[in-house]
Each structure stands twice: as structure tokens, then as C-alpha cells.
Homo-oligomer: A and B are copies of this chain.
Amino acid sequence: MLLMKSKYLAADVPMFAGLPPAVQAFLDRALVWRRFRAGDEIIDRQSETRDVFFVAEGKVRVVIYSVSGREVTLDDIGPGGHFGELAALDGEPRSASVMAVEPALISSLGDEAFRKVATENPAMALSVMRRLATVVRTSSNRILDLSTLGANNRVHAEVLRLARVAVKRPDGSAAISPIPVHSDLASRVSTTRETAARVMGDLSRQDILKREKSALVVLDIAKLATLVEDVRGDF
């Protein structure tokens, strides 16, 4: 949570990297850098702030809580990503809360400065739009999953997603590391910890999955894929 001005610069933020020097200089004056510890809250839902945040190091999580206590994870954002644009763009209250899940170094920018920079620099405008576009795509897919898949198939789908981006081993299996905590998994596909655990157990018993010391190994990605596609059906 300590301030460390003028140690980090706008050029360190990927999204700003290609901007004209004059704009970067402007940003260097406007950006505020902060460190957060794991667990710290960065944005509180319903708060009236409008700043935009850029993740330089670490990882943050976007969540919505329902008062019934349920926690719905919307997204995880790592280095190079940004969040908080919605409120800055439309002036509405925050739509979700954001917390650091790892120690994080983050810079923030006031909404006016953000709108100015984002609309007056074509390259920047395009990356903001692209980012929003992928968020929309992700959300639509999730809505589709929630609408058409049962809870355990959603867990299948999520493990499959993790496997696809994980490091592949020579034998074709994928090592997911660190091992995702069941309750996080559950929150990401809107089900319960128990259901996630049961599904993972089933997958082990079918030799699709193996839990190792510090990695979750998907032994048979193809078979896992069929489990999902048999129900989803399409494409």
C-alpha cells in the first residue's frame, strides 16, 4: 500500500506503450501507483469512484456478491490488463467488486483523463474496445453455459478451459498449476464447492484427471472434451 511515484512510468503499462511521448508525459503526471496485498479490496461495488485501474504485476479478481452470501466470480485479470472502465465510460456506479488475489502493483487514472486518452488516441481506443469486446464474448459464453449446461458439465467445461491454456506435457497431457481451489472453481461456474469436488472425483475415477503434488494433470483432454460436447452438442 506504499506509494512509489516516478519509479514506474506510463511506458510500463502495455496499453500505453505505443502512445506519443507527449501523451505518456501527461499520463506520468496523472497515474497513481499503488501496491495491494492479497485479499485487499480495490473497488467496492456500488461505490461512487470512477477511476480506471491497470494491472502491472499480480492478479486481481472481479466478483459480485449476492447477499445470500454467494460469490460469483466474473473474471481474473493479470499483468497488462485493466478494469474499472465501465464506470469511467458511462458514469454509472460500479457493477462489481474487485480484490487482489495476489500481491499486486496497480496504477489508476481518473475517469476524465481516461476518456480523454482513450478517445483521442486511435490505438488506445482500439485496445479499449477490443478489451470490452472480449469481455462481452466471455460473458455471452458464460450465459450460454449457464442456460444450457448442467452444473457438472459446467465444471467439465471449466476444467477443459484451464487445460487448454495450461502447459502441455510431452505425452499430450496438460498440467494445470497451481491447482485451483475447488471453491474458486465452483464460484467461477456458479455451482457449489461440493458439486465441484464430486465432479473432480468422478473425473479422477475415469482416469481423465490426476491430482499430483503441485499440479492438476488432465490426462485425456479429448475425452474431457467429449463430456462437454455431448451435451453442448454444437460445433
Interface positions of A (Cβ within 8 A of B):
46, 64-68, 70, 72, 74, 85-86, 89-90, 92, 95-96, 115, 118-120, 122-123, 125-126, 128-130, 132-137, 139-144, 146-148, 190, 231-235
Complex Cα spacing A234 to B234, Å: 37
Q: How far is the CB of A87 from chain B (nearest CB, A)?
A: 9
Residues on B with C-beta less than 8 A from A235 are 46
Residues on B with C-beta less than 8 A from A123 are 119
Decide: A148 near B68, CB < 8 A? Known: A133-B132, A136-B135, A136-B136. yes
Decide: A137 near B190, CB < 8 A? Known: A72-B144, A74-B143, A129-B118. no
The answer to whether A233 and B140 touch across the interface, beta carbons within 8 angstroms, is no
Residues on B with C-beta less than 8 A from A119 are 122-123, 125-126, 129
Residues on B with C-beta less than 8 A from A65 are 234
The answer to whether A146 and B146 touch across the interface, beta carbons within 8 angstroms, is yes
**Nearest B residue to A46, CB-CB:** B235
Decide: A86 near B137, CB < 8 A? Known: A72-B148, A143-B142. yes
Complex Cα spacing A141 to B93, Å: 13
Complex Cα spacing A137 to B62, Å: 13
Complex Cα spacing A113 to B133, Å: 18
The answer to whether A89 and B148 touch across the interface, beta carbons within 8 angstroms, is no
The answer to whether B140 and A96 touch across the interface, beta carbons within 8 angstroms, is yes
Residues on B with C-beta less than 8 A from A143 are 72, 74, 139, 142-143, 146, 190
Complex Cα spacing A136 to B135, Å: 7
Complex Cα spacing A147 to B141, Å: 14
Residues on B with C-beta less than 8 A from A234 are 65-67
The answer to whether B233 and A66 touch across the interface, beta carbons within 8 angstroms, is yes
